[in-house]
């Protein structure tokens, strides 16, 4: 009973939010390096140069106008450029992860560190950096879990090729994957392809300029083909590789038992499950094909794409779980709360974080059950956590009981899913196990970590690391393999 013996307890990060060193060691900019800080989702801007050479900016979710290219303005502050500086602190940070007892650590590889322009030129210094990181992890018996692509694309590919709109990017991506698979095949076993593939729809994440339905789904098709090719290639290079997909899972409940509300929630959930269907079952679900017909979306495919997608299905489902939402057939009657990539509807039975994310531990068990019932392959909770403002006391202590409370309930929910529902869950990597830059808002004050990093929203701070109260709590959870959740 309880968590399996070899359960992968750990933590999760992403290069652009954690690494910094954005031009160090031969790296060139990625699209994400052109996003400014902000105080909330909509105040994060992308800076760019128009076709006519004018410098402009647009909110992060929007795509750039046709012909525009990314531009880094020396007058602006860009949080990814230094982030919380894993680039220079990896030894110290990994030692702290080891002290917590991590069995695994999830990080992403910065594409433009390995292939600075995204093309077939390799940067040895970039490869050497991740070698050093993996060696450091393995020294403590911490299994690296690698997200191959977490929301980034080399800016050159976005500017010159229109990013994932262009089929050629599949080949460049494959070259990048072949390079890292061959280099790290004896150091890394767990991989996942695209972080939150269901959220990839804008210039910053996939370098596209056309974010209409047609543009978004054509790019998604290229991502699916790329993922399938990567899975096949990875298994050829090392048959022990476990290669997963990654989806942001936000289950939606019907606002009431009114059938119209239920249908809305079916449709909402389907939109996320569509991405899992393609990568796990290996084909486009019927409802999506009907939607394409209805909306006049025509996906350009090449001969063999369907077979490839069928053959390159993934080994496990990785997903992020932060919150649930609610669907209603009368959206004008509901109250919207924070949300992030999408406005979330207020659930009267739940409380929200300061950023409006509805805290719902049972929703995690519901998600695990649904996903396991539906797909029957191993699951990996690769993100979960509570973004909050932390206060440093005069003696330096950070008493984050609210975070401990959040985790306690979510770990208990996973345990129920294992014990009561029979879910095959292989690991848990809480998001931002060390403080890093928020993807949604660019803030530092929205913190997730067990480890505090001294840095503010304007890039000021010493970058000094310190243990929060939750550090010792999580250490105890790992030491008891999820049995002792009480906070003492
Ligand atoms: P931040 C939206 C909703 C759920 C998960 O988000 C999301 C997003 C996108 O922001 O993304 C994941 O930093 C993502 C991470 C991100 C984390 O959630 O906005 O994979 O990169 O940092 C938390 O609070």
Q: Give the whole-angstrom CA distance, residue 156 versus residue 172.
A: 12
Q: Which of the 8 DSSP states describes residue 219? A: H
Query: Residue of the nearest CA to atom 14 in ligand 1?
Result: 439
pLDDT at 43: 74
Give the ligand 1 atom nearest the CA of 339. 3
Probe residue for ligand 1, chosen from 275, 439, 443, 447 as the CB with the greatest number of ligand atoms within 8 Å: 439
The predicted-structure confidence for 116-175, as pLDDT tens digits, reads as follows 999 999 999 999 999 999 999 999 999 999 999 999 999 999 999 999 999 999 999 999
Cβ-proximal residues to 390 (8 Å cutoff; 6+ apart), any chain:
398, 400, 447, 452, 468
Ligand 1 center to 281 CA (angstroms):
26
Cβ-proximal residues to 328 (8 Å cutoff; 6+ apart), any chain:
254, 255, 256, 261, 264, 334, 345
Q: C-alpha 321: how far from its chain's center?
A: 10
Ligand 1 center to 44 CA (angstroms):
14
Is 484 part of any domain? no
**Average pLDDT for the chain:** 95
CB 155 within 8 A of CB 209: no
pLDDT at 338: 66
127, two tokens? 């490869």
Q: Give the whole-angstrom CA distance, residue 293 versus residue 270.
A: 17
pLDDT-based confidence at residue 194 (cuts at 50, 70, 90): very high
pLDDT at 260: 97
pLDDT at 49: 94
CB 115 within 8 A of CB 175: yes
User: What percentage of the chain's residues is helix, strand, coil (to nearest 5)?
Assistant: 40, 15, 45
Is 485 part of any domain? no
Q: SS3 of 392, please?
A: coil
Cβ-proximal residues to 301 (8 Å cutoff; 6+ apart), any chain:
221
Beta strands in 249-340 (DSSP E): 252-254, 316-320, 325-327, 336-337
Average pLDDT of the residues in 389-411: 97
pLDDT at 229: 98
Q: Give the whole-angstrom CA distance, residue 124 versus residue 25.
A: 9
Ligand 1 center to 250 CA (angstroms):
12
Tell me the CB-side half-sphere exposure of residue 445, using CA atoms within 13 A.
11
Tally of structural domains, the chain: 1
Give the ligand 1 atom nearest the CA of 437. 13
pLDDT-based confidence at residue 61 (cuts at 50, 70, 90): confident
pLDDT-based confidence at residue 31 (cuts at 50, 70, 90): very high
pLDDT-based confidence at residue 294 (cuts at 50, 70, 90): very high
Is 392 part of any domain? yes
Q: Show which residues are catalytic.
A: 383
Q: Which of the 8 DSSP states describes residue 104? A: E
Helix axes 401-419, 361-375, angle to 10 degrees: 30
The predicted-structure confidence for 208-253, as pLDDT tens digits, reads as follows 998 899 999 999 999 999 999 999 999 999 999 999 999 999 999 9
Q: Which of the 8 DSSP states describes residue 386? A: -
pLDDT at 467: 98
End-to-end CA distance of the chain, in Å? 24
CB 256 within 8 A of CB 327: no
CB 147 within 8 A of CB 107: yes
Percent residues over pLDDT 70 in the chain: 98
Probe residue for ligand 1, chosen from 324, 383, 386 as the CB with the greatest number of ligand atoms within 8 Å: 383
In this model, does residue 392 exceed pLDDT 70?
yes
Ligand 1 center to 439 CA (angstroms):
5
pLDDT at 334: 78
CB 470 within 8 A of CB 403: yes
Residues in contact with ligand 1 by the CB-under-6-Å rule are 14, 17, 195-196, 248, 320, 322, 340-341, 383, 387, 431, 438-441, 446
Query: Residue of the nearest CA to atom 15 in ligand 1?
Result: 439
In this model, does residue 339 exceed pLDDT 60?
no
Q: Output the DSSP codes for 300-311.
A: ---TTHHHHHHH
Is 348 part of any domain? yes
Sign of CA dihedral 98, 140, 16, 238: negative
Q: Which domain holds residue 68?
A: 8-479
Give the ligand 1 atom nearest the CA of 446. 24
The predicted-structure confidence for 250-285, as pLDDT tens digits, reads as follows 999 999 999 999 999 999 999 999 999 999 999 999
Query: Residue of the nearest CA to atom 5 in ligand 1?
Result: 248
Span of 13-27, 61-75, 94-108 with lowest mean pLDDT? 61-75
Helices (H), 61-123: 86-100, 111-114
pLDDT-based confidence at residue 80 (cuts at 50, 70, 90): very high
The CATH code of the domain that includes 452 is: 3.20.20.80
pLDDT-based confidence at residue 86 (cuts at 50, 70, 90): very high
Query: Residue of the nearest CA to atom 16 in ligand 1?
Result: 439
pLDDT at 488: 64
Is 327 part of any domain? yes
Angle made by CA atoms 273, 289, 64, in degrees to the nearest 5: 75
pLDDT-based confidence at residue 343 (cuts at 50, 70, 90): low
Closest CA to 181 of 448, 414, 173: 173
Q: Which residue in this structure is represented by tokens 């990567």? A: 230
Give the ligand 1 atom nearest the CA of 340. 2
Probe residue for ligand 1, chosen from 17, 324, 340 as the CB with the greatest number of ligand atoms within 8 Å: 340
pLDDT at 41: 56
Query: Torsion angle, CA of 463/466/469/474, rounded to 10 degrees?
Result: 90
Is 3 part of any domain? no
Is 381 part of any domain? yes
pLDDT at 335: 78
Average pLDDT of the residues in 481-486: 96
Cα distances (Å, whole numbers) of residue 356 to 253, 271, 340, 347: 17, 22, 9, 11
The predicted-structure confidence for 434-444, as pLDDT tens digits, reads as follows 999 999 889 99
**Phi–psi pair at 153, nearest 5 degrees:** -145, 135
Tell me the CB-side half-sphere exposure of residue 443, using CA atoms within 13 A.
16
In this model, does residue 341 exceed pLDDT 60?
no
Is 379 part of any domain? yes
Q: Give the whole-angstrom CA distance, residue 135 versus residue 144.
A: 10
């Amino acid at each position: 009973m309880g968590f399996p013996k070899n359960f992968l307890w750990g933590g999760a990060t992403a290069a652009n939010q954690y690494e910094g060193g954005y031009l160090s060691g031969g790296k060139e900019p990625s699209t994400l390096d052109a996003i400014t800080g902000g105080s909330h989702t909509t105040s994060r801007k992308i800076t760019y140069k128009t076709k006519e050479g004018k410098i402009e900016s647009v909110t992060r979710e929007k795509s750039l106008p046709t012909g525009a290219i990314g531009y880094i303005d020396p007058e602006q502050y860009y949080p990814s450029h230094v982030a919380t500086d894993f680039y220079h602190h990896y030894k110290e940070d990994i030692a702290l992860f080891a002290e917590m007892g991590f069995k695994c650590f999830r990080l992403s590889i910065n594409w433009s560190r390995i292939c600075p322009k995204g093309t077939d030129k390799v940067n040895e210094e970039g490869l050497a950096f991740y070698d050093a990181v993996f060696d450091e992890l393995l020294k403590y018996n911490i299994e690296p879990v690698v997200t191959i692509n977490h929301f980034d694309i080399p800016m050159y590919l976005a500017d010159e090729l229109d990013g994932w709109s262009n089929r050629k990017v599949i080949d460049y991506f494959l070259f990048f994957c072949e390079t890292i698979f061959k280099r790290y095949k004896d150091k890394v076993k767990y991989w996942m392809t695209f972080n939150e593939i269901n959220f990839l729809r804008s210039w910053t994440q996939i370098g596209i300029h056309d974010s209409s339905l047609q543009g978004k789904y054509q790019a998604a098709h290229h991502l699916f083909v790329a993922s399938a090719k990567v899975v096949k290639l990875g298994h050829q290079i090392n048959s022990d590789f476990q290669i997963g997909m990654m989806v942001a899972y936000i289950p939606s409940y019907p606002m009431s038992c009114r059938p119209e509300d239920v249908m809305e929630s079916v449709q909402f959930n389907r939109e996320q499950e569509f991405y899992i269907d393609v990568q796990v079952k290996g084909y486009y679900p019927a409802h999506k094909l009907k939607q394409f017909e209805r909306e006049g979306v025509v996906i350009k495919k090449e001969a063999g794409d369907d077979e490839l997608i069928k053959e390159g299905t993934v080994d496990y489902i990785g997903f992020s779980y932060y919150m649930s939402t609610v669907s209603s057939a009368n959206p004008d009657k509901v109250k919207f709360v924070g949300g992030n990539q999408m406005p979330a509807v207020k659930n009267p039975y739940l409380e929200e974080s300061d950023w409006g994310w509805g805290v719902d531990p049972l929703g995690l068990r519901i998600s695990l059950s649904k996903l396991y019932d539906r797909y029957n392959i191993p699951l990996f909770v690769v993100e979960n956590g509570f973004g909050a403002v932390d206060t440093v006391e005069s003696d330096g202590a950070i008493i984050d009981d609210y975070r401990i409370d959040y985790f306690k309930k979510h770990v208990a929910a996973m345990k129920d899913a294992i014990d009561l529902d029979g879910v095959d869950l292989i690991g848990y990597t809480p998001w931002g196990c060390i403080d890093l830059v928020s993807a949604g808002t660019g803030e530092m004050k929205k913190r997730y970590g067990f480890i505090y990093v001294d840095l503010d929203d304007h890039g000021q701070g010493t970058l000094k690391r310190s243990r929060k109260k939750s550090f010792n709590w999580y250490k105890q959870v790992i030491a008891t393999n999820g049995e002792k959740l009480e906070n003492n």
